[in-house]
């Protein structure tokens, strides 16, 4: 059964801990219910764990399906099948328990499989596309469930066909490599330590990397050279240890975050004539000041 709420307080659904009321939120409990919601064409978008999402602090005139309850998975030999709502760290640990290598990098990702496939998540020389085999998706245009191979997914840096096609991920299948459990767990621990040293804890609201890396460069490096660490805007602040993160330090609003992002964007553009583009996703209403600044950065 699907749980549906109107005028839903959405800030608790995202790691940024920012957001106003949402017109409608739906939480399907199984894939059949999920498909029925999609087929109804009554909803504007589908979201997972919202670990890279910034919701507007104002009322959001949208209807959203959240996949957090779609968390079934199975591991058989080297094959891993996971529904779109399965959390990355959980799957990373379960694969380690089965002595399977390829998902060590997911231990530090707070997102779910749906979002990770959507953006081809990667870190520490590993990427979702490395082990991906096939996806079960719902094709809105064809109004049916179809399967997409790795080639058909058109994976690239932070992209997949799911961003441009009318397809919504239901579940994905991966093929991992057998490995030594101790070595796998050691690599996972190194990844955790790296993130502790370089990335902010989710105990302070944030949505991960703010901007995508430009070709052959690093957004964090450019922002560092522009002296952005520690820069504040209202309740939002650039992380002191890495300039490509924004923290919700003191009840920041979405406008605080977007104004701060815009400052970062303009500094890099003026100094290096490089335009940074957001890696996080903004969800708000059209025609607002927030939306206009966001469109300029996109």
Q: What domain range is 150 assigned to?
A: 73-196
Residue 175 has pLDDT above 90, yes or no: yes
Q: Is residue 45 part of a domain?
A: no
The reply to whether 87 and 147 lie within a common domain is: yes
pLDDT tens figures, 131-160? 999 999 999 999 999 999 999 999 998 899
Residue 1 has pLDDT above 90, yes or no: no
Q: Is residue 42 part of a domain?
A: no
Which domain CATH number covers 236? 3.90.78.10
Longest CA pairwise span in the chain (Å): 54
Residue 204 has pLDDT above 90, yes or no: yes
Active site residue 158: yes
**Annotated active-site residue in 99, 122, 152, 158:** 158
Q: Is residue 165 part of a domain?
A: yes
Return d(Cα 185, Cα 87) in angstroms, integer. Answer: 18
Q: Give the per-residue pLDDT at 202.
A: 82
The reply to whether 240 and 285 lie within a common domain is: yes
Looking at residue 129, the DSSP 8-state letter turns out to be H
Q: Give the per-residue pLDDT at 240.
A: 96
Among residues 136, 185, 111, 109, the alpha carbon closest in space to that of 31 is found at 136
Among residues 103, 116, 112, 165, the alpha carbon closest in space to that of 137 is found at 165
Return d(Cα 193, Cα 184) in angstroms, integer. Answer: 14
Return d(Cα 217, Cα 54) in angstroms, integer. Answer: 25
Which domain CATH number covers 84? 3.30.465.10
pLDDT tens figures, 91-101? 999 999 999 99
Q: Is residue 202 part of a domain?
A: no
Q: Is residue 58 part of a domain?
A: no
* Mean pLDDT (whole number) for 38-47: 96
Return d(Cα 246, Cα 237) in angstroms, integer. Answer: 6
The reply to whether 154 and 237 lie within a common domain is: no
Q: Give the per-residue pLDDT at 242.
A: 96
The reply to whether 178 and 227 lie within a common domain is: no
**Annotated active-site residue in 133, 152, 173, 279:** 279
The reply to whether 237 and 159 lie within a common domain is: no
* Mean pLDDT (whole number) for 121-128: 94
Looking at residue 278, the DSSP 8-state letter turns out to be B
Q: C-alpha distances in angstroms, 250 versus 201, 206, 238, 247?
A: 15, 12, 12, 9
Total Cβ atoms within 10 A of residue 230: 10
The reply to whether 248 and 163 lie within a common domain is: no
The reply to whether 190 and 78 lie within a common domain is: yes
pLDDT band at 173 (very low <50, low <70, confident <90, very high): very high
Domain finish residue from 196, 231, 247: 196
pLDDT tens figures, 14-41? 999 999 999 999 999 999 999 999 999 9
Count the domains in the chain. 2
pLDDT band at 164 (very low <50, low <70, confident <90, very high): confident
**Apex 229 CA angle, 226 and 235, nearest 5:** 125
Strand 79-83, strand 73-76: pairing: antiparallel
Chain-wide mean pLDDT for the chain? 96
The reply to whether 124 and 189 lie within a common domain is: yes
The reply to whether 81 and 187 lie within a common domain is: yes
pLDDT band at 197 (very low <50, low <70, confident <90, very high): confident
**Annotated active-site residue in 57, 101, 129, 209:** 209
CA atoms within 13 A on the CB side of 88: 27
The reply to whether 116 and 165 lie within a common domain is: yes
Q: Is residue 7 part of a domain?
A: no
The reply to whether 141 and 240 lie within a common domain is: no
SS3 249: coil
Q: Is residue 212 part of a domain?
A: no
Q: Give the per-residue pLDDT at 99.
A: 98
Place of tokens 């999609």: 38
In which element (H, E) is residue 283 found?
strand 281-283
pLDDT band at 165 (very low <50, low <70, confident <90, very high): confident
The reply to whether 147 and 227 lie within a common domain is: no
Q: Is residue 21 part of a domain?
A: no
Considering the chain, what percentage of its residues have pLDDT values greater than 90?
94
Among residues 292, 288, 281, 248, the alpha carbon closest in space to that of 55 is found at 281
């Amino acid at each position: 059964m699907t749980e549906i709420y109107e005028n839903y307080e959405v800030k608790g659904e995202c790691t940024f801990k920012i957001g106003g009321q949402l017109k409608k939120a739906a939480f399907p409990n199984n894939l059949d219910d999920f498909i029925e919601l999609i087929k109804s064409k009554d909803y504007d978008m589908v979201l997972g764990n919202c670990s890279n999402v910034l919701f507007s602090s104002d009322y959001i005139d949208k209807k959203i399906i959240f996949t957090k309850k779609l968390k079934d998975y199975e591991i058989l030999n080297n094959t891993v099948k996971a529904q779109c709502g399965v959390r990355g760290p959980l799957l990373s640990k379960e694969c380690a328990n089965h002595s399977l290598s390829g998902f060590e990098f997911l231990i530090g990702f707070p997102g779910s499989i749906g979002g990770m496939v959507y953006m081809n998540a990667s870190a520490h020389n590993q990427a979702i596309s490395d082990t991906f085999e096939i996806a079960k998706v719902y094709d809105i245009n064809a109004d049916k469930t179809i399967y997409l191979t790795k080639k058909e997914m058109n994976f690239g840096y932070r992209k997949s066909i799911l961003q441009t096609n009318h397809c919504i991920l239901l579940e994905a299948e991966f093929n991992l490599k057998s490995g030594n459990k101790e070595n796998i767990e050691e690599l996972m621990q190194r990844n955790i330590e790296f993130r502790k040293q370089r990335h902010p804890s989710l105990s302070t609201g944030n949505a991960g990397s703010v901007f995508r890396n430009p070709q052959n460069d690093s957004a964090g490096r450019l922002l560092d050279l522009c002296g952005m660490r520690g820069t504040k805007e209202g309740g939002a602040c650039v992380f002191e240890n890495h300039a490509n993160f924004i923290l919700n330090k003191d009840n920041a609003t979405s406008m605080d975050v977007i104004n701060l992002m815009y400052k970062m964007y303009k500094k890099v553009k003026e100094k290096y004539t490089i335009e940074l583009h957001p890696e996080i996703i903004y969800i708000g209403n059209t025609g607002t000041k927030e939306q206009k600044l966001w469109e300029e950065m996109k």
